[in-house]
A = this chain, B = another copy of it.
Amino acid sequence: MNYVLATVLQFNQGKNSVIIKARGKSISKAVDVAEITKNRFLQDAVEVSNVTIGTETLTGGEGGERNVSLIEITLKRTS
């Protein structure tokens, strides 16, 4: 919920777009943040302009590598 408020705040401060990023299990939370912002707080004022998914390779302390999925959701002010 704090992320929703942070997103709303960015728009209220005049930003025209906000990118919500998350990795791994938090990906579903990022989608929730985007949807709640769009549907409950800023209806008809913002829209999802782009969604990108990808993979990031994290290197552990002992040289091990681990792939983690990521998402980037761009919310844009409707014109």
User: Which A residues form the contact surface with B (CB < 8 A)?
Assistant: 24-28, 31-32, 34-35, 39, 48, 51-55, 67, 69-71, 73
Give me 9 A-to-B residue pairs in the complex whose CB atoms sit less than 8 angstroms apart, sorted by A's number.
A24-B28, A28-B69, A31-B71, A32-B69, A34-B53, A35-B55, A35-B67, A51-B51, A53-B73
A70 to B39, CA, bound (A): 14
Point out the residue from B24, B39, B69 that lies within 8 Å of A55, measured CB to CB: B39
Residues in B with CB closer than 8 Å to A35 are 53-55, 67, 69
Residues in B with CB closer than 8 Å to A39 are 55, 67
A21 to chain B, nearest CB (A): 13
